[in-house]
Amino acid sequence: MSESKNKLWQKDVSVLEEIDKFTVGMDRELDLLLAKYDVIGSLAHIRMLTSIGLLEQKELEIISKELSKIHEEIEQGKFVIEDGVEDVHSQVELMLTKRLGDIGKKIHSGRSRNDQVLLDLKLFMRAEVLELVELAKALFDRLFALSDTYKDVLLPGYTHLQVAMPSSFGLWFGAYAESLADDLTILKSAYSIVNRNPLGSAAGYGSSFPLNRQLTTDLLGFESMNYNVVYAQMGRGKAEKVLSNSMATIAETIGKFAMDVCLYMGQNHGFIKFPDEYTTGSSIMPHKKNPDVFELIRARCNKLKALPNEIALITTNLPSGYHRDLQMIKESFMPAFTNLKECLYMTRFMLEKIEVKEEILKEDKYKYMFSVELVNQLVLEGMPFRDAYVEVGRCIEKGEFEIPSKLNHTHEGSLGNLCNDQIKQRFQNELQFFENEKVIISEKEKELLV
């Protein structure tokens, strides 16, 4: 049983349905996410074809107008990949040919499905990164506000899951805010790898057409191109792995925070709580208020942290050139953005209603976490540190230890000097890069659409 011949590569021999189904995989579903980027890439490509004489100006105007209509249909949710059509590239070209006749067949000159899907993925990744940054900013702002609000509310600090030294909610929330600033630095580096134009590399060996690759680079707002055409194809899988690594660092931040929340919500800690409607219950224990949202965030983040390794294993031992193995990356990689965006959103959403318990450290079980304070106080009074350490230990053993009346943490990043303004400035510096990119890309798309 054969499929219809709606494939860019198909000639006179039809492929068996079983072969077709297996090789296409999830491409038709996932390609819907690439549709608008395929159109944007084609709009830039036909302008370049016109500049080198492969399209006439009138043909450019006709095709551009129709591609812009297809883009609008995609934005309105009206675009579908028809039965028997292999992928988004075939669907767009089929629609143009049906509506414009033979002129629609001209848009594939000078490119291959290989550099076409590479381009679509690069444009998709750029857009998804900018959405991630917006959600990271919203979470950062909430963490920053909570750190400032609760900067004077003390919290037990732990090492080895043992009560260790005084901390504060200001330190706790601020730590994750600063972690997000680092995550943006890493994401910016990955974005730079992604933000390079592969169009014109064709099947990985360039073209005998006198393509103007710099023109499409400029039209699409890329930082530069992947210059070497072989490397452009080698970049598939590499770009996804680099970007998934940066996504994994964000997942590491959120996942660790989710773990803290699960601990701090438990009855053995009781440091924080959420309204009942933000938690779930038990089928047999009426008293339970479970942190299911944060448990699922923790699990999702762990899954995201595994993604770079999955991509690395798919690409292991592949020689240069295109291989169908690379198709498999899309099935895990593309949905990962939705997964991470939902984790960022839900973490911020939950923090809108977090309730912090005050006066935690007045409980007697936290008494000895102030031992270091007394050691330091004795040192400041002139006693050698090792002698002070022994003296305080003796006081604890004899039951003579008394909590110091005052905490004196003044150095940068400590209880009394959170350095939140500096952390915010770091985040803003990284954020500005992405804000500039958002403007550039938006302007370039507007220029291409007619």
Nearest residue to 340 via CA among 238, 203, 245: 245
Please identify which of the residues 160, 208, 283, 411 carries the catalytic annotation: 160
Q: Which two tokens stand for residue 277?
A: 């409607």
Torsion angle defined by CA atoms of residues 287, 289, 295 and 296, in that order, rounded to the nearest 10 degrees: 110
Quickly count: other Cβ atoms within 10 Å of residue 29's Cβ: 13
- 3-class SS of residue 159: strand
Measured in Å, how far apart are the chain's first and last C-alpha atoms? 42
CA dihedral sign, ordered 317, 320, 325, 327:
positive
- 3-class SS of residue 356: strand
Please identify which of the residues 192, 282, 320, 442 carries the catalytic annotation: 282
For residue 1, which amino acid is it? M
For residue 248, which amino acid is it? A
Kindly give the residue spans of alpha helices, DSSP state H, lying in 154-228: 169-194, 213-219
Q: Report CA-CA distances (Å) from 116 to 88, 112, 243, 305, 397.
A: 10, 6, 20, 29, 73
According to DSSP, the β-strands at 196-197 and 224-225 are: parallel
Quickly count: other Cβ atoms within 10 Å of residue 372's Cβ: 16
How far apart are alpha carbons 75 and 34 in whole angstroms? 12
The tokens 């899954």 sit on which residue? 303
Q: Is 51 a catalytic residue?
A: no
- SS3 percent helix, strand, coil of the chain, rounded to 5, is 65, 5, 30
How far apart are alpha carbons 319 and 8 in whole angstroms? 25
How far apart are alpha carbons 352 and 354 in whole angstroms? 6
Residues 6+ apart with CB under 8 A from 101: none
Q: Is 160 a catalytic residue?
A: yes
Catalytic residue IDs? 160, 282
